[in-house]
């Protein structure tokens, strides 16, 4: 896939290259260009084919590990965290080594003893669990490292020949509200549907028709649909992707057993809560992967498989895109606009060509490690970031929070 613009001027489509192909002006960290006289990609120093001004123009720029946002908040406005959701706000019960919540009077994170703001029962409830302060704190570098491992472990992802995209017209961010169809043809020209026979894909697709997309209507799961949730979790936990994630979180003392991890995933992703009218009408999985309609607009809907299947059925009309990621293999990232059976999505980012377990793993990683914050990751040497939001109006277990949404929000120059 090709980025629609030089990333240093993210999303300003149609700009001409400044300079020639013998210079890195406006070309810093672009993809390899076989037609150019010299290169400005990240590997040019290694391959000794950089343009003469590469180091002067490109290496002095801001740290490429720090992502630059290309998407603003594209969901409905999320409310500020509610306080006192735990039954015991001054206790560490159910909160051992959870991230700091500034709305609480005391804390139970890995560094609370260092800062002298632990809850009184911290030692009693958390000390026996054998948590190590040094291993529990998840750093940005560790997030980038584990995301690279997850990326390499995704053997079920699409190969180049499995997907043919027709991205067509790139528009500027200011045009996204116009609701104009700039692309007369479908986004997906071809998808090798043999992918969908793989166990994790098949289990994932079985879940997509279990929801009513309109918020405000109570969700009812049959015994079969509940079983399908368990099948999906069971299948993805067999993969190297999820084993990498669990091993990482276990090392950082987030979970003491794989079963505890799976139980938490089921609650945070599939547990129902109310987005509208007090009905248990939504879940993190429905919102992120299947998509919802609220107040006449599409919310969530960040999955390429769902997009392809709905487009194939004639229920989705692809309008345009504002960003195409720097990856030249799958998974890639595309930020696009579309009409879903009469409802418009102004900005929707999706991984393209990834396996279901890959997306599920990265979103879960970021929700657990950086809930409600931007989460810096790295894929194939390229940084990106994921934004998650917690649902703060209701909780499960000992005050644990559901996933409200998760999606890719940034890339880098």
Name residues whose C-beta falls within 8 Å of residue 323's C-beta, 6 or more positions apart in sequence.
3, 4, 10, 11, 70, 71, 333, 334, 335, 349, 411
Whether the CB-CB separation of 301 and 308 falls below 8 Å is answered with no
Distance, CA of 33 to CA of 16 (rounded, Å): 16
In the predicted structure, residue 65 carries a pLDDT above the cut 80: no
Q: What sections of 139-182 are H helices per DSSP?
A: 140-153
Residues with catalytic roles? 287, 302, 345
Whether the CB-CB separation of 256 and 272 falls below 8 Å is answered with no
Please write the tens of the pLDDT for every residue from 344-382.
999 899 999 999 999 999 999 999 999 988 999 999 999
Distances, alpha carbon 256 to alpha carbons 139, 248, 268, in Å: 20, 12, 17
Which sign does the torsion angle of CA 295, 297, 300, 304 carry?
positive
Please write the tens of the pLDDT for every residue from 244-294.
999 999 999 999 999 999 999 999 999 999 998 888 889 999 999 999 999
- Per-residue tokens: 9: 């001027």
- Per-residue tokens: 292: 């919802």
Residues in the chain: 413
Most confident of 7-21, 58-72, 111-125, 221-235: 221-235
44-51 contacts, C-beta under 8 A, 24 or more apart: 50/24, 51/22, 51/23, 51/24, 51/27
Q: What is the pLDDT of residue 403?
A: 95
The whole-model pTM stands at: 0.73
**How are beta strands 68-69 and 343-352 bridged, if at all?**
unpaired
When the pLDDT of each residue in the chain is averaged and rounded to a whole number, the result is 83
Q: How confident is the model at residue 411 (pLDDT cuts 50, 70, 90)?
A: low
Which sign does the torsion angle of CA 6, 389, 340, 297 carry?
negative
Maximum CA pair distance of the chain? 66
Helix, strand, or coil (residue 94): coil
Helix, strand, or coil (residue 154): coil
Helix (H) or strand (E) holding 248: helix 240-251
Task: Order across the sheet with 343-352: list the strands.
Answer: 292-294, 297-299, 343-352, 332-340, 316-324
Query: What are the structural domains, with CATH classification, of the chain?
Result: 1-61 (4.10.410.20), 69-80+137-411 (no CATH)
In the predicted structure, residue 74 carries a pLDDT above the cut 90: no
| DSSP letters for 26-58 | TTTTPPP-TTSSSB-STTHHHHT-B-TTHHHHT
Whether the CB-CB separation of 297 and 306 falls below 8 Å is answered with no
Of the candidates 249, 246, 218, the one whose C-alpha atom is nearest the C-alpha of residue 233 is: 246
For tokens 């990683």, what's the residue?
365
| Least confident piece of the model among 104-108, 124-128, 241-245 | 124-128
More confident residue, 98 or 287: 287
What is the mean predicted confidence (pLDDT) over 170-180? 91
Q: What angle do CA 261, 267, 268 make, to 5 degrees?
A: 85
């Amino acid at each position: 896939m090709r980025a629609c613009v030089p990333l240093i001027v993210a999303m300003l489509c149609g700009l001409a290259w400044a300079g020639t192909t013998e210079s890195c002006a406006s070309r810093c960290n672009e993809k390899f260009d076989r037609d150019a006289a010299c290169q400005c990609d990240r590997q040019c120093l290694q391959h000794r084919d950089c343009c003469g001004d590469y180091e002067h123009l490109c290496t002095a720029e801001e740290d490429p590990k720090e992502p630059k946002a290309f998407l603003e908040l594209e969901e409905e406005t999320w409310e500020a965290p509610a306080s006192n959701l735990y039954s015991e706000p001054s206790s560490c019960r159910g909160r051992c080594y959870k991230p700091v919540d500034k709305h609480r009077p005391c804390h139970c994170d890995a560094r609370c003893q260092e800062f002298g703001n632990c809850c009184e029962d911290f030692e009693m409830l958390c000390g026996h669990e054998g948590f190590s302060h040094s291993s529990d704190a998840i750093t940005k570098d560790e997030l980038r490292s584990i995301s690279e491992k997850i990326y390499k472990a995704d053997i079920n992802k699409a190969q180049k020949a499995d997907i043919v995209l027709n991205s067509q017209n790139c528009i500027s961010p200011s045009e996204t509200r116009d609701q104009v169809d700039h692309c007369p043809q479908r986004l997906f020209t071809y998808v090798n549907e043999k992918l969908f026979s793989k166990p994790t894909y098949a289990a994932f697709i079985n879940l997509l028709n279990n929801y009513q997309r309109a918020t405000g209507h109570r969700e009812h799961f049959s015994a079969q649909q509940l079983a399908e949730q368990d099948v999906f979790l069971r299948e993805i936990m067999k993969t190297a992707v999820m084993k990498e994630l669990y091993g990482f979180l276990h090392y950082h003392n987030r979970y003491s057993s794989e079963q505890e991890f799976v139980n938490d995933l089921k609650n945070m992703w599939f547990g129902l809560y109310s987005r509208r009218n007090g009905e248990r009408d939504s879940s993190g999985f429905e919102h992120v992967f299947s998509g919802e309609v609220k107040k006449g607009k599409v919310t969530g809907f960040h999955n390429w498989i769902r997009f392809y299947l709905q487009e194939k059925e004639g229920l989705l009309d692809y309008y345009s895109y504002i960003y195409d990621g720097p990856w030249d293999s799958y998974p890639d990232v595309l930020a696009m606009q579309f009409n879903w059976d009469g409802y418009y999505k102004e900005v929707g980012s999706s991984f393209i060509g990834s396996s279901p377990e890959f997306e599920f793993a990265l979103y879960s990683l970021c929700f657990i490690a950086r809930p409600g914050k931007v989460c810096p990751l790295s894929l194939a040497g390229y940084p990106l970031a994921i934004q998650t939001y917690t649902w703060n109006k209701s909780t499960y277990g000992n005050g644990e929070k559901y996933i409200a949404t998760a999606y890719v929000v940034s890339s880098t120059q």
